[in-house]
């Protein structure tokens, strides 16, 4: 590990983590679902669980992420704003979990994707009111389902749009007026383009799904790369999860990987939002595997590392506090054995984790 030669402050505790240890800023997962239990049917588990038990599960999920060195998460979909309860709990006891940037129930059409979270809304005034409610409750981001999704089979298909471009612009304008960013779940090309033109701050998934498979549109990719909008790729699979990947990943995985690679090569601002919680291969500590997946696309390990640290901090509007080690930054730290800027698998060799200066893992 590089050493600056700086001396500790008088009276400060010195922790020797060994000569092969690399100290990093805590990781940032820009898309996680603490309310999903990473089971074979997380939606059924969610709907069958009361709020008290669900909150207990969410605490455990958050602690699992923290133990992996994930010290900040954007929770992009919960029920009854339960994540906001954890925000307060962890503010008082930061060693209990990562800092949570909560969206609350995502905005969706009646019966639309993830309607079971309770965020169904349509119409201009209702959409503005939904944004204002999230701001008043203390949410850090607004999530909107621009397209359908695979977890809600009784809704529109994943490639189909749920909201018009005008609806998306209404949400973005109101959120930005109140100082909140907007994250748009978008699979189909039309939903991706509409969300981009509406001015969302991050595009989630960006798979370019169609009725027949995966069909990326070069012009839209170029527009994304030329914009200030972040792309949050749903990377990261636990290789020890003894389950088959979903049909979409098994059938079109090569096209999805090629699209992800092209987005990065064209200059899009790519971060990793693991979508943790949605399946057994997506446990809440899966983010380090997402960085490894990004390097398998040909991205340099150091660039991949910034996607879960400094670049993710910019997306989440916590730059200065998160994503780097320096004076004035939060003491959210991850120590690993080896150098992840050369070998990304080093992220899996966790030696110690610190949250707000408190050691939560390691000797």
Token output for 71: 């010290």
Domain-embedded: residue 158: yes
Domain that holds residue 94: 28-330
Count of residues making up the chain:
363
- Judged against a pLDDT cut of 50, whether residue 196 lies above it is answered with yes
User: Domain count of the chain?
Assistant: 1
Domain-embedded: residue 185: yes
**The whole model's pTM is what?**
0.94
**185-213 residues labelled b (16+ CB within 10 A) or e (exposed):** bbbbbbbbbbbbebbbbbbbbbbbbbeee
- Judged against a pLDDT cut of 60, whether residue 242 lies above it is answered with no
Contact present, 230 and 201 (Cβ < 8 Å): yes
Q: Which residue has the higher pLDDT, 18 or 308?
A: 308
Angle between helix 165-177 and 189-198 (nearest 10) = 40
Q: Which residues contact 356 (CB under 8 A, 6 or more apart)?
A: 94, 95, 330, 331, 332
The three-class DSSP label of residue 354 is strand
pLDDT at 244: 62
Contact present, 316 and 8 (Cβ < 8 Å): no
- Judged against a pLDDT cut of 90, whether residue 254 lies above it is answered with no
Q: How far apart are CA 303 and CA 8, in angstroms?
A: 30
Domain-embedded: residue 356: no
- DSSP symbol at 117: G
Helix runs in the chain, H state only: 42-47, 51-67, 82-92, 124-137, 165-177, 189-198, 218-226, 247-265, 287-296, 301-307, 310-315
pLDDT at 191: 98
pLDDT at 9: 59
The tens digit of pLDDT for each residue in 34-92 reads 999 999 999 999 999 999 999 999 999 999 999 999 999 999 999 999 999 999 999 99
Token output for 255: 């096209």
What CATH number has the domain bearing residue 154? Answer: 3.20.20.140
Q: How far apart are CA 47 and CA 118, in angstroms?
A: 11
Domain-embedded: residue 304: yes
Q: How far apart are CA 22 and CA 351, in angstroms?
A: 9
Domain-embedded: residue 354: no
Domain-embedded: residue 15: no
- DSSP symbol at 9: P
**13-32 residues labelled b (16+ CB within 10 A) or e (exposed):** eeeebeeebbebbbbbbbbb
**pLDDT > 70 fraction of the chain, expressed in percent and rounded:** 94
In angstroms, what CA-CA distances link 234 with 77, 273, 291, 293, 300?
15, 5, 11, 10, 18
The tens digit of pLDDT for each residue in 109-168 reads 999 999 999 999 999 999 999 999 999 999 999 999 999 999 999 999 999 999 999 999
pLDDT at 214: 92
For range 7-33, the mean pLDDT: 83
Q: Which residues pair with 352 in a beta bridge?
A: 335
Q: How far apart are CA 174 and CA 121, in angstroms?
A: 15
For range 210-229, the mean pLDDT: 96
Whole-number CA gyration radius for the chain: 20
For range 87-104, the mean pLDDT: 97
Domain-embedded: residue 2: no
Residue 1's pLDDT band, with cuts at 50, 70 and 90, is very low
């Amino acid at each position: 590990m590089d050493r600056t030669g700086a001396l500790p402050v008088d009276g400060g505790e010195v922790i020797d983590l060994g000569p092969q240890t690399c100290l990093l800023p805590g990781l940032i997962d820009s898309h996680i679902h603490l309310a999903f239990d990473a089971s074979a049917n997380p939606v059924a588990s969610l709907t069958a669980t009361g709020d008290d038990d669900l909150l207990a599960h969410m605490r455990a999920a958050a602690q699992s992420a923290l133990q992996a060195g994930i010290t900040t998460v954007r929770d992009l979909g919960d029920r009854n704003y339960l994540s906001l309860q954890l925000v307060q709990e962890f503010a008082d006891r930061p060693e209990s979990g990562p800092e949570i940037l909560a969206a609350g129930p995502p905005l969706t059409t009646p019966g639309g994707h993830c309607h079971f979270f309770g965020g169904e809304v349509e119409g201009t005034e209702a959409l503005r009111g939904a944004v204002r409610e999230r701001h008043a409750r203390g949410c850090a981001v607004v999530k909107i389902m621009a397209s359908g999704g695979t977890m809600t089979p009784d809704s529109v298909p994943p490639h189909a749009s749920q909201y018009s471009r005008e609806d998306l612009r209404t949400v973005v304008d109101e959120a930005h007026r109140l100082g909140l960013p907007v994250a748009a779940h978008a699979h189909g090309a039309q939903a991706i383009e509409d969300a981009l033109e509406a001015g969302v701050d991050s595009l989630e998934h960006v798979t370019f799904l169609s009725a027949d498979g995966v069909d990326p549109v070069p012009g839209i990719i170029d527009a994304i790369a030329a914009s200030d909008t972040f792309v949050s790729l749903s990377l990261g699979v636990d290789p020890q999860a003894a389950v088959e990947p979903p049909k979409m990943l098994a059938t079109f995985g090569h096209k999805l990987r090629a699209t992800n690679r092209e987005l990065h090569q064209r200059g899009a601002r790519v971060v990793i939002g693991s979508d943790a919680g949605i399946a057994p291969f997506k446990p809440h500590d899966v983010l380090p595997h997402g960085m490894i997946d990004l390097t398998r696309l040909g991205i340099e390990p150091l660039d991949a590392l910034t996607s879960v640290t400094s670049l993710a901090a910019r997306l989440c509007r916590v730059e200065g506090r998160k994503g780097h080690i320096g004076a004035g930054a939060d003491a959210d730290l991850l120590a690993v054995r080896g150098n992840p800027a050369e070998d990304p698998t080093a992220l899996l060799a966790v030696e110690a984790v610190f949250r707000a200066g408190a050691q939560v893992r390691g000797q």
